[in-house]
A and B are shown apart, each in its own frame.
Chain A
Amino acid sequence: MKLPKTYGYLKKDLEVIEEALNQTIQAEHPVLRQASIDLLNAGGKRIRPVFVILAGQLGDYDAESISKAAVALELIHMATLVHDDVIDEATLRRGKPTIKHLYGNRIAMYTGDYILARALEEVTTINNPKAHRVLSKALVEVAIGEIDQIQDKFNWEQNLRDYLRRIKRKTALLIATSCQLGALLSGLSDKEVKLLYRYGYYIGMSYQIIDDILDFTETAKQLGKPAGNDLLQGNITLPVLYAIRDREFNEMVQEVFKKPDLIQSDDMKLVINTLKQTDAIRKSYELSDMYLKKALDTLNELPNSKSKITLQTIAKYIGRRRV
């Protein structure tokens, strides 16, 4: 089953959000407009809007504010991606040319700043101070997480805690915030808001761990980027952290990464194959499963509803997802 099928019944809500996203990025300048539209059309699972809607449906659903929050979160995510592509010098995203590749770094910077500004313009029409404190704090944390990621590049001394803190900021926080905002805007109790935040956090952690696993287990065609690309960029992810406990892998990877600029695709194949020989993938899945279990346990404390069942299904799907 594909992830979108699990929330197929949200089609109408998501269409409203898609239309709002499209309206929001209609810049005056043709290149700015086109760059933003290209980014929007590049797809994506719209997982953040889905979480805002589902959490919102657990309380008194206010379609207008839920839609605005969902749009803002997706735009914030999009703005981050445009700037990430400048950082990673990425030419492709989801198999399509990046804005940085098509128009250059400067235009990518302007597009990201423009999209973020549009997100803030939209979201500040929601009159809920607490929601803004939550969202703005998440935005700052996400930026710090990105800086940490740069700082930790090729740092073979980092530990599991460093990795978990980084992926919390990089991925889990925005998903947790999506759930939290949906809950806040539909008037759920403090306890329920907290539970949904935790659900989003656990799901986000698991989602990123699986992303990091797939970077080694899937093909370039499936990923839309070279396999092992994260490691090639210097990002030490969970499978690598587990694998370097294996002496053979550790020695080999240290040797290959003495000169990262000179690494060939055959070198990466060797690294990936050797990593797969270790227990790193299995152990990474185990940690991901532990987060998913925690996510499901958290949901048990919420009253039964269709949305809750969907949140459970999403959690189960994430554990099995391939790309």
Chain B
Amino acid sequence: MNEITLYKEIIENKTNHDFLRKTIHKPVIDEDKLFILLKLIPKDTASAQTNRDVYIITTMLVQVALDTHELVMDNDDNETDDEKLVKQLYVLAGDYYSGLYYYLLSEIDDLTFIHKLASAIKAINERKMKLYYGEYETFSEYTSLKVEVESLLIETVANYFQHIDFIDCVKQWQYIKLLSKEKERIVNDEILLNSMMDSKKTNPYMTAEDKFSSIIQREWTSFNNKLMKLPHSTTDLQSYFNQKMVDHVYRNTLNAEEG
């Protein structure tokens, strides 16, 4: 069993609750973030193997808590009783996972790490408010907010373990994923955020999809260069993201173009 599968199982077990499991699906665990955490907190960094586990698990619990609360939508008048129950349990499941993060870290007495993660949650919610109210004027402001929401937690852990060289990579990877999603949405005519793109930086004769493809390619090259320069860069780190790029970004692009 590889490390990602192992930790996913541990997190699923930690968050296991009979009624939640019966009524709502298992928490979705972001594999990319989990993989980055595994690389960020190498086995020889934390004081003991058990503590390494706790740092990884609790950070992912916070992520899962935030992601679960994102599933709570604004009211729908036509909501069925079952949908209402699911919504109620998303609220409570998120709160439960948040409580678990605090509980597990208090067991190893790392108050500083609890504090740092709480600060990240605070900052993430501030940015979510801006996104909710559409408080951005340019595409760049929008992506910057989205990338921060997705990377602030890992950035906090990177700072805590003094691996700040990871931060740029994490942000860039989130940016690439976001661009690929936006490109897919444009192809599907869901939203035309490209109208917000700075026209000076892009060729006005290019189609929206081409613009995105071009930026994604540029970011991917830059990301790869950064990845190779990481002091703790390993071949599995590079091959992981190469595979993800193929699986996620190119497949999305392909699906969208075929669709």
**Residues of A bordering B, CB below 8 Å:** 27-29, 31-32, 80, 83, 86-87, 89, 104-107, 109-110, 112-114, 116-118, 120-121, 124-125, 127, 129, 132-133, 135-137, 139-140, 142-144, 146-148, 150-151, 261
Q: List 19 A-B contacts (CB under 8 A).
A: A27-B126, A29-B126, A32-B129, A86-B88, A86-B91, A87-B91, A104-B74, A105-B87, A109-B94, A110-B129, A110-B132, A112-B95, A120-B118, A133-B107, A136-B106, A140-B99, A144-B17, A147-B96, A261-B81
The answer on a CB contact under 8 Å between A150 and B96 is no
The chain B residue with its CB closest to the CB of A134 is B106
Known: A110-B129, A150-B88. A129 touches B72 (CB 8 A): no
The answer on a CB contact under 8 Å between A132 and B99 is no
The chain A residue with its CB closest to the CB of B107 is A133
The chain B residue with its CB closest to the CB of A119 is B118
> What number of B residues sit within 8 Å (CB to CB) of A?
46
Complex CA gap A121/B123 in Å reads: 12
Known: A86-B72, A113-B69, A113-B121. A28 touches B126 (CB 8 A): yes
The answer on a CB contact under 8 Å between B74 and A129 is no
The answer on a CB contact under 8 Å between A110 and B128 is yes
The answer on a CB contact under 8 Å between A139 and B99 is yes
Chain B nearest CB, measured from A257 CB (Å): 14
Chain A residues with CB under 8 Å of B72's CB are: 86, 105-106, 109
Chain A residues with CB under 8 Å of B121's CB are: 113-114, 116-117
Q: Residue A116 contacts which of B73, B98, B115, B129 (CB distance < 8 angstroms)?
A: B98
* A-contact 0/1 string along B104-142, CB 8 Å cutoff: 011101011011001101100110111011000000000
Known: A114-B126, A129-B109. A147 touches B20 (CB 8 A): yes
The 6 closest A-B pairs by CB, nearest first: A120-B118, A117-B121, A132-B106, A143-B96, A140-B99, A136-B103
Chain A residues with CB under 8 Å of B105's CB are: 136
Chain A nearest CB, measured from B174 CB (Å): 20
Complex CA gap A119/B128 in Å reads: 19
- Please tell me if B19 contacts chain A, counting CB pairs below 8 Å: yes
The answer on a CB contact under 8 Å between A121 and B129 is no
The answer on a CB contact under 8 Å between B92 and A147 is yes
Beyond A120-B114, A121-B122, A137-B103, 4 extra complex contacts between A and B, CB < 8 Å = A113-B94, A117-B119, A132-B102, A140-B103
Q: Residue B66 contacts which of A105, A113, A120, A137 (CB distance < 8 angstroms)?
A: A113
Chain B nearest CB, measured from A112 CB (Å): 8
Chain B residues with CB under 8 Å of A106's CB are: 72-74, 132
**Residues of B bordering A, CB below 8 Å:** 17, 19-20, 65-66, 69, 72-75, 81, 84-85, 87-89, 91-96, 98-100, 102-103, 105-107, 109, 111-112, 114-115, 118-119, 121-122, 125-126, 128-130, 132-133
Known: A86-B72, A133-B107, A136-B103. A117 touches B126 (CB 8 A): no
The answer on a CB contact under 8 Å between A143 and B125 is no
Known: A113-B98, A117-B121. A32 touches B126 (CB 8 A): yes
Chain B nearest CB, measured from A277 CB (Å): 31
The chain A residue with its CB closest to the CB of B114 is A124
Known: A136-B102, A143-B92, A146-B95. A29 touches B130 (CB 8 A): yes
Complex CA gap A109/B72 in Å reads: 8
The answer on a CB contact under 8 Å between B118 and A31 is no
The answer on a CB contact under 8 Å between B73 and A83 is no
Chain A nearest CB, measured from B54 CB (Å): 13
The answer on a CB contact under 8 Å between B119 and A121 is yes
Chain A residues with CB under 8 Å of B129's CB are: 29, 31-32, 107, 110
Chain A nearest CB, measured from B45 CB (Å): 22
The chain A residue with its CB closest to the CB of B118 is A120
Complex CA gap A151/B19 in Å reads: 7
Chain A residues with CB under 8 Å of B114's CB are: 120, 124, 132
Known: A120-B118, A133-B106, A151-B19. A140 touches B100 (CB 8 A): yes
